[in-house]
Structures are given as C-alpha cells and as structure tokens.
C-alpha cells in the first residue's frame, strides 16, 4: 500500500498551508515560514493584519518581519490608503524577486527545458538544450550546461535548483530507474556538488501535480494528476502531501497490464496501459482511424483510464482529477469518458462530487511545480 511521505524536508516538504499559531516548542523557522506563507497566500498587509492572520503576537511579527526584511524576503510598500482615522498602517509584502529559482524539466524526449522563476513561480527567462540521445553521464553534462546557461540569465541570488525527471526518484534525488537517464544516477548530489546550491529532484508527474496544486486548484484540494504526454504517470496530493510510496514508485501506472494478449511493450510485458492511452500511441490510432471513428477511439481510451482510476478514487476518495496531455487528445470525448466511467464504477458518495478536467501539457506546469516544491523545501511556503 502506498504511504504518504514522511521524508525529511529536503525531499518531502509538507504542502499543507500553515495556518495555526506555532506552539512554544516550535522553532523560529516555523514562524518565519508562517509569515512568508501568509503573505504568499493573502498578499500585502500591515503588521497588525499579519498578526491577526497568522495568530502570532505583534512583537513576534515585528521581530520576524525585521529579520525577513534584512534577508530581503519581505519589503515595505508604503502606507495603506484608507479612510480610517489616525496614521495609516504601513503595508508589507513578499519580495518575489529577492531570490530566483532555476527549474529544469527532463521529461521531453528530444530536449531538456529550463527556466528561471521568481518566488511566485513566474517564468522570467527560459532556455533549452538538445538531448541527442544522451543518457547517464552524457545527459548529466547537458543538464549542467543548461543550468549554467540559466544561472547566467539572472543577476539575482539563487534560492536553489529544482528538477522534474521521468522515472523513479528516491529521497536523495537519485534516479533509480529512468528511460531518459538510466539507473543509479545520483543527480541531486552531483548537481549540488557542482553548483554549491540546494538541489531537489522529483519525478516529473509529481512535479506536475505540485504545479496544478499550487497554481490551478483550491489550496485545500486533494488531487490526482494523470500525465499522458510521455508514457503514463500520476502524481497524487493527499492532505497537503505528495504520495510517494514505500519504494518511491507511487503513480507508475503506465505498465499495468490491461490486455494480456495485447501488443508487446518495451518493458517486456503485453498490453500495458501506456500502449493503450499514452499520447504517442493514442495519437497514432486516432490518425489512422476512419474519420467517423476518431471520437470512438478517444472515448474507448478514456473508458480504459477511467476503469484504472475508479478503484484508486474509491480507496482514497479524491474528488479532483486533472488529466494532462495534448489538447486534441485529452479534451472533450476522452476526459468526458474518464469522468463517466469513474462515476459509473464508484458509489454515489464517491463519484457524485468528482471533477475531472483536462489541461494541455506544457513545460510551464512542470517548471512552476518544481519552483513550488523548492519553495516548500527551502522556505516552508506552498
């Protein structure tokens, strides 16, 4: 059974928004994160407002704000314009350009994509490098060259580097198994040794889930993201935490056997889910189907995915599913069939509130998700 991660902050930082007053035994770091989280979520406010919102005392807030100002993480915006009697309060806010973040997406087969973002995950610059079939150390050299190029694009201090990588990634950021990079590659350590910065490496589907969780759904939502662009993988957020699994392979559903007599798969089995609904395979079947049969092909693929997801949804009672992939494949008949199938195969108490939506795949989702993960790991902000 998959478990919610309780790994160290460097890998499994909690995504749950901090909204409660820190108890005496909690560290000053917790209170700093609480201040930053409140400003990140609610925007500019006075110190008095910040005290009310965070639950911290005014003297504590004043001391923490002074500390964060010294670190350039918060900045004063000037007096608030209002009609209240007396001296107007001074507004403070998160300084989103105090640091920049380098983020990299390794999920594309022909090139690696990277970006520089601010502390809100907004992309300020981007670059890419061709893969040319490189794996292992050759791929690592290309990643290093891409990060060096990105780091040179910003004069800001770098908070760290975050990487979304296809495959099974453990809590040390070692790539245990990946078609793109091979196995046994200590990517996180090697990048940290080279750049002398905090580095975090996470599975690309999990990073996509963080991107959706941070920027596209309500903060409290439990969430399942199904990524179909390159293979089939899922990322799940439950109770504000990523679900990683005992062996870090939670969500690797692409090689579930669906048809034992189906086509052979590169993994050595037959009839894997990836062969039926992965974007490349599905696009080929749609393109070669007669004009009047294309919608039927998409609905059939959607029903297949819905049948796979129904027991997962029943087990954990998630009500938000987001399917990512090429828009012409995942939108419309495909996602409608996913929704209808999951609803038909689950109890009303599970399926009635289910929302299934589609979003077109783009690297920005993975890049912004990587930024969100690094923010949670390094500043406690999500």
Average pLDDT of the residues of the chain: 86
Tens of pLDDT, residue by residue over 7-22, are 333 334 444 444 455 4
Query: Which two tokens mark 157?
Result: 């201090």
Neighbours of 352 (CB within 10 A): 10
Distance CA 249, CA 243 (A): 9
Mean pLDDT across 313-337: 93
Q: What is the pTM of this model?
A: 0.83
Taking the chain, what is the end-to-end CA distance rounded to the nearest angstrom? 27
Is residue 159 a contact partner of residue 378, using CB atoms and an 8 Å limit? yes
Tens of pLDDT, residue by residue over 292-323, are 899 999 999 999 999 999 999 999 988 899 99
Distance CA 285, CA 80 (A): 59
Q: What are the φ and ψ backbone dihedral angles of 52, each rounded to 5 degrees?
A: -65, -45
Is residue 17 a contact partner of residue 41, using CB atoms and an 8 Å limit? yes
Distance CA 149, CA 163 (A): 15
Which of 105-109, 147-151, 232-236 comes out lowest in average pLDDT?
Answer: 105-109
Burial of 13 (0-12, 13-18, 19+ CB in 10 A): buried
């Amino acid at each position: 059974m998959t478990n919610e991660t309780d790994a160290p902050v460097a890998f499994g930082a909690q995504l749950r928004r901090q909204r409660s007053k820190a108890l005496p035994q909690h560290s000053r770091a917790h209170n700093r994160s609480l201040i930053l989280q409140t400003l990140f979520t609610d925007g500019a406010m006075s110190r008095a407002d910040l005290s009310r919102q965070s639950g911290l005392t005014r003297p504590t807030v004043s001391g923490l704000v002074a500390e964060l100002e010294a670190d350039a993480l918060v900045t004063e915006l000037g007096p608030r314009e209002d009609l209240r009697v007396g001296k107007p309060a001074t507004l403070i806010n998160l300084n989103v350009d105090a640091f920049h973040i380098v983020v990299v997406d390794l999920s594309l087969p022909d090139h690696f994509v990277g970006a520089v973002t601010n502390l809100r995950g907004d992309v300020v610059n981007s670059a890419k490098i061709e893969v040319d079939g490189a794996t292992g150390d050759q791929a690592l050299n290309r990643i290093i060259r891409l990060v060096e190029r990105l780091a040179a694009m910003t004069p800001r201090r770098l908070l760290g580097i975050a990487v979304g990588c296809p495959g099974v990634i453990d809590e040390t950021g070692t790539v245990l198994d990946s078609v793109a990079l091979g196995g046994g590659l200590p990517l996180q350590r090697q990048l940290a040794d080279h750049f002398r910065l905090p580095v975090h490496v996470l599975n690309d589907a999990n990073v996509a889930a963080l991107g959706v969780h941070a920027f596209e759904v309500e903060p409290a939502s439990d969430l399942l993201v199904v990524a179909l662009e390159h293979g089939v993988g899922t990322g799940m957020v439950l109770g504000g935490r990523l679900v990683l699994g005992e062996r870090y392979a939670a969500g690797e559903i692409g090689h579930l056997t669906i048809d034992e007599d189906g086509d052979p798969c590169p993994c050595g089995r037959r009839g894997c889910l990836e062969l039926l609904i992965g974007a490349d395979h599905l696009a080929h079947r749609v393109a070669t189907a007669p004009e009047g049969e294309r919608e039927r092909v998409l609905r059939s693929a959607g029903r297949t995915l819905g049948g796979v997801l129904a027991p997962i949804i029943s087990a954990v009672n998630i009500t938000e599913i987001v399917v990512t992939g090429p828009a012409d494949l995942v939108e419309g008949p495909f996602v409608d069939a996913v929704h209808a199938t999951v609803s038909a195969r689950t109890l009303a108490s599970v399926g009635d509130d289910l929302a299934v939506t589609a979003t077109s795949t783009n690297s920005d989702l993975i890049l912004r998700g990587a930024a969100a993960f690094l923010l949670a790991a390094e500043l406690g902000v999500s």
